[in-house]
Amino acid sequence: MGFYSLVSFFQKGGMFMYPILLVFAVGMAIAVERLIQLNRVHSANRNMWGRIHPLLAEGEFEKARKMVNTDKSGVSQMLSMGLALQGAVRRREEIEIAMEESMMEIIPQLEKRTPYVALLSNIATLLGLLGTIMGLIEAFTAVANANPAEKADLLSASISVAMNTTAFGLMAAIPLLLLHAKLTSTTGQIVDSLEMASVKALNSITTIRKDKMEMNPFAADGKQPASSSAT
């Protein structure tokens, strides 16, 4: 379909073509903004995890704490909650709960505005159908008062024009639905990577603490071995 054919197609569709175009433009703007933002988040999380994972594996939690406190990535926000409790509590469950609480704050930021893309896709489809119905009503009204010999041709042309809005509505809705699926998939991948990072961090903290307790069994209750009295 050439440019002039597309312009003619748009003009024949009637007034409902304009709100469909507006809905499509808004949906595309939201989708592109979310794609760019999610890609940035994913890249920042991946880079930060590559830097902090070796520190966690070596048990250098103080360096890890300083690193996450100076970074704004999602993985840093999550790990900062767990590392803040690492030296103060002994139970794995408490650190895990702290990280889950941080995840509950991060996930809504990742999903922000994404549902609007699917909503706008549905609106574009419904506007197309509404435009077609209104066009058919106008067509049948005009044909009722037309010359009987011209009714068939007039009705055929009117229906063809009315169908343009449905076609344009679908042309707007399908790309928005595909972009919504892409956004949902990317968000799911980021959430999965954060959960994996959380589990690996917890395992590192637990393993290092267990090793230290095995080396010093009195560290668990803070007691020190009593010094043997001289005989």
49-53, 144-148, 189-193: which range is least confident on average?
A: 144-148
pLDDT surpasses 90 at 4: no
191 vs 3, more confident = 191
> What confidence tier does 125 reach under pLDDT thresholds 50, 70, 90?
very high
Answer whether residue 114 shows pLDDT above 90: yes
Gap between the Cα atoms of 171 and 128, Å rounded: 10
- For residue 173, give every residue at least 6 positions away whose Cβ sits within 8 Å of its Cβ, in sequence order, or none: 121, 122, 124, 125, 128
Q: Is residue 209's pLDDT more than 70?
A: no
pLDDT score for 213: 47
Note the pLDDT tens digit of each residue in 73-94.
899 989 888 888 776 655 778 8
- Identify residue 127 by its one-letter amino acid code: L
Residue 68, amino acid: V
The Cα 48–Cα 189 span in angstroms is 16
Query: Higher confidence at residue 195 or residue 159?
Result: 195
**Model pTM score:** 0.79
The 3 state secondary structure assigned to the chain is CCHHHHHHHHHHCCCCHHHHHHHHHHHHHHHHHHHHHHHHHHHHHHHHHHHHHHHHHHCCHHHHHHHHHCCCCHHHHHHHHHHHHHCCCCCHHHHHHHHHHHHHHHHHHHHCCHHHHHHHHHHHHHHHHHHHHHHHHHHHHHHHCCCCCCHHHHHHHHHHHHHHHHHHHHHHHHHHHHHHHHHHHHHHHHHHHHHHHHHHHHHHHHHHHHHHHHHCHHHHCCCCCCCCCCC
Let me know if 100 is exposed, middle or buried by CB neighbors in 10 A (0-12, 13-18, 19+). middle
Q: Compute the C-alpha angle 167/173/176, nearest 5°.
A: 150
Range from 38-47, 99-108, 177-186, 216-225 carrying the lowest mean pLDDT: 216-225
With cut-offs at 50, 70 and 90, classify the pLDDT of residue 29: very high
Residue 217: what pLDDT?
A: 45
How open is the CA angle 167-172-174, to the nearest 5 degrees? 95
Token readout for 121 is 């896709």
pLDDT grade for 141, boundaries at 50, 70 and 90: confident
Greatest mean pLDDT among 12-16, 58-62, 118-122, 134-138 lies in 118-122
